[in-house]
Structure 1
């Protein structure tokens, strides 16, 4: 009695280099879907922050609307009502005059 049914030849799989192509493709997708858009948005925000000047109306990251009184190297002085407050440049979330994009 032979056990020919239980003797199977090993199945031939895809060549090993196809795994490297798959991993490389995943890396490219990761770059174009995550890394590139974030770096582009960061560069745009840095450009906006470098162009701030006195008199600009801004929205701070806390949600407060303020007017810039004066600009220093890393800080800005903003008018909130009748008081003037020192804040970091990075606290500016957007210019108040920019159209806001709606997120649904």
Structure 2
């Protein structure tokens, strides 16, 4: 019995452009799942901080509740109990009257 050796050409892989399509798709997913929502949330927070006014009750990033006494350029004066303290605007996490989102 004789076996004929059949010479086969090596199978060609996928074309080179498919790698670029895959990498491009991954970049788009990364943008829409991570970068875009984060920048949207940052813009919303900046808009909220720009609307702060005296008399608003806020929650600080430390978890304390305070009432705004007066607002300056980058700082706010807060009433905490019987004291008035100075803090940066960025220390405000949210307005106390806002409903908290369920994540």
* TM-score (structure 1 length as normaliser): 0.90
Equivalences for residues 44-55 of structure 1 within 5 A: 44-55=44-55
Q: Distance in 2 between matches of 1:38 and 1:19?
A: 28
- The residue number in structure 1 matching 2:26 is 26
- The residue number in structure 2 matching 1:72 is 72
* TM-score (structure 2 length as normaliser): 0.91
Residue 39 of structure 1: SS of its match in structure 2?
helix
Moved over 6 A (4+): none
Query: How far off is 1:92 after superposition?
Result: 0.1
Q: Distance in 2 between matches of 1:17 and 1:9?
A: 22
Residue 30 of structure 1: SS of its match in structure 2?
helix
Structure 2's unaligned 5+ residue stretches are none
Equivalences for residues 1-104 of structure 1 within 5 A: 4=5, 9-103=9-103
Q: Distance in 2 between matches of 1:68 and 1:8?
A: 80
CA RMSD of aligned residues (A): 1.8
| Number of residue-to-residue matches in the alignment | 102
Structure 1's unaligned 5+ residue stretches are none
